[in-house]
Amino acid sequence: MEQRRVRTLLVLAFPVALSVGILLIPVVSDYSDHAVAAEAVSSTGRWFAGHVLAAAAFGWSVLSVSVVAAVLAGRAQRLPSFVLPLIAVGAGLYAAGLGADGVGPVALASSGASPALFFDGSGWWVSGTFIAATLCYGAGLIALAAHVIRVQLVRGAFRYLVFVGALLFMVVPAIPSGWGLYGEALAAYVVFVPLATAVGRPAQQARRADRPGE
């Protein structure tokens, strides 16, 4: 019982930490308007803490997926070998982009310069990092969703939720405002809450689910 509860909490910690981090970040209505983004940085503490916590959450997500992989391995239904590396690379890129976005503007503001200089100068360095992160992480998440559905780790309505959530992770970053971050937080819950529930099921119950005719 205790081990199952720990597994559930380890998986669930990612969407919770990510959503708290995103809620801390002041909403930027239009990231293409650097003056608006610079104004959001004026809430220095929230901007910094939110980005750092969200970056840490993506790092934690690698552990969350590792827990799912360990449960699958215990059931002789190993996760494809490319999934965890894709998730890890995507998470690292997300953490790098969020870290740069969180520290750079605040550092400029603390020196007396305008945070808009960061947004003016970062260009494709930061946005390109986020695009690469979305491609890697999203592809890994879709492959993960497809596998847990195929081996029936998740069942019923959860199957559709997990797959739709993985697709959302690929789509919502295209929203050019802070509301896209809220979409990512929602997608994380849609994917990882069913996974957390699944890894917390007793092994005997999971085996019966795999053999419904018995």
pLDDT in tens, 8-66: 999 999 999 999 999 999 988 877 778 888 888 888 889 999 999 999 999 999 999 99
Helix 83-110 with 34-41: angle, nearest 10 deg: 80
Mean pLDDT of 100-128: 86
Residue-wise pLDDT tens digits, 90-113: 999 999 999 999 999 999 888 888
pTM of the predicted model, to two decimals?
0.87
SS3 content of the chain, % helix, strand, coil (to 5): 80, 0, 20
Q: Which amino acid is at 34?
A: H
Find the mean pLDDT for residues 111-116: 86
pLDDT reported for residue 178: 78
- At 209, is the pLDDT very low, low, confident or very high (cuts 50, 70, 90)? very low
Q: Is 164 exposed, middle or buried (0-12, 13-18, 19+ CB in 10 A)?
A: middle
pLDDT higher than 60, residue 204: no
Query: Left (φ > 0), alpha (ψ -120 to 50) or beta: where does 112 sit?
Result: left
Mean of pLDDT values over 185-208: 82
Give the max Cα distance, the chain: 70
pLDDT score recorded for residue 1:
63
pLDDT at 44: 84
Give the residue-averaged pLDDT of 151-176.
90
The domain ranges of the chain are 2-207
Query: Percentage of the chain with pLDDT > 70?
Result: 94
Mean predicted confidence (pLDDT) in 137-158: 94
Q: What average pLDDT does the chain have?
A: 88
* Predicted local confidence at residue 205, as pLDDT: 52
